Amino acid sequence: MLLCFDIGNTFLKYAVYENDQLISFSKSKFHKLNLLNLKKYKIKNIAISSVVPSNLITLKNELDNVFGIVPFVINRNLKLNILLDFLDTSTIGIDRICAASGAVAFFSENSTSPILAIDLGTATTINLIKPNNIFSGGIIAPGMKTMINSLNLQTAQLPEINLENYELFFGKDTKSAIASGVVNSTLGLINFAVQNVQTEFNSEPKLIITGGNSDFIKGKIDYEFVQIKDLVLRGVKKIFEINNIIFHN
């Protein structure tokens, strides 16, 4: 079995795979991770994507202590199932690379349609994968809860709210107005991204969403999409596999 980790800015996500089957998926705050809970699985290999270097070092040490396994760490110089079309590939977040890789793997490689892989987490990222698996850019914006926290911290009178305060496009009080701003700015970003792709490629993009805020916003998206909770981890798994790592179930 293969154990994959995605160390994000807010949460740690991890999954156990047996061949192509997802056996277990979890997320937690980094400091609450209990690796002993994973000892029940026959883990043979471990792969990690991380955007927090200090947490990566800590996790590697803990994995060595618990499993006695040196993990495979994803980096930009590995063999990928995507081509990176960026001005400077050293600036691309590993999580974005894995999300794009996971999206291409989900759509069975060599899609003739463009793909938008949308991660609705601490940041909202929209990644464009052109036909022939070319990861060709994207959008990075504050995540929905990041916007809420920022408005609360940076202003004297705006309260911290829950997304459930969203009711109408034009809010009837301050809380619902903030919720509308957060929700509709995110939906507008998605809609404009889809429209831009439609104009450029004369084709409807395949849309795939993931991340902690995807559950809330999925009922409000105007376009057909698929929601994959382990999208980044699927990319971790795919990159691990195509780099000639032989593992046993």
- Domains of the chain in start order, with CATH, are 2-75 (3.30.420.40), 83-145+173-235 (3.30.420.40)
Going by their DSSP bridges, the two strands 72-73 and 123-130 should be labelled as unpaired
- List the structure tokens of 57: 């070092």
194 confidence band (pLDDT: 50, 70, 90):
very high
Q: State residue 242 phi and psi, 5-degree precision.
A: -80, -5
Q: Select the more confidently predicted residue: 165 or 229.
A: 229
Q: What is the pLDDT of residue 245?
A: 56
Confidence of residue 190 (pLDDT cuts 50, 70, 90): very high
Residue 164 is predicted with a pLDDT of 84
Say what the pLDDT of residue 108 is. 77
Question: Taking all residues of the chain, what is their mean pLDDT, rounded to a whole number?
Answer: 92
pLDDT digits (tens, 9 = 90+) for 24-49: 999 999 989 999 999 999 999 999 99
The Cα–Cα gap between 103 and 207 comes to: 9
Q: What is the mean pLDDT of residues 56-73?
A: 94
Label the pairing between strands 115-120 and 206-210.
parallel
3-state helix, strand, coil in the chain (%, to 5): 40, 25, 35
Within 13 Å of residue 183, how many CA atoms lie on the same side as its CB? Answer: 24
Of 116, 77, 78, 96, whose CA–CA distance to 9 is shortest? 96
Distance separating alpha carbons of residues 217 and 68, to the nearest angstrom: 40
Residue 17 has pLDDT above 70, yes or no: yes
* Confidence label for 249 from pLDDT (cuts 50, 70 and 90): very low
pLDDT digits (tens, 9 = 90+) for 199-235: 999 988 999 999 999 999 999 999 999 999 999 999 9
**108-152 pLDDT, tens digit each:** 766 688 999 999 999 999 999 999 999 999 999 999 999 999 998
Residue 2 has pLDDT above 50, yes or no: yes
**pLDDT for 109:** 67
- Residue 45, C-beta contacts closer than 8 angstroms, at least 6 positions apart: 2, 3, 69, 72, 240, 245, 247
- Kindly report the three-state secondary structure assignment for every residue of 12-55: EEEEEEECCEEEEEEEECHHHCCHHHHCCCCCCEEEEEECCHHH
3-state secondary structure of 141: strand
Asked which of 153-157, 176-180, 231-235 is least confident by mean pLDDT, the reply is 153-157
Please give the average per-residue pLDDT across 16-21, as a whole number. 93
pLDDT > 70: percent of the chain: 97
The owner of tokens 């195509």 is 242
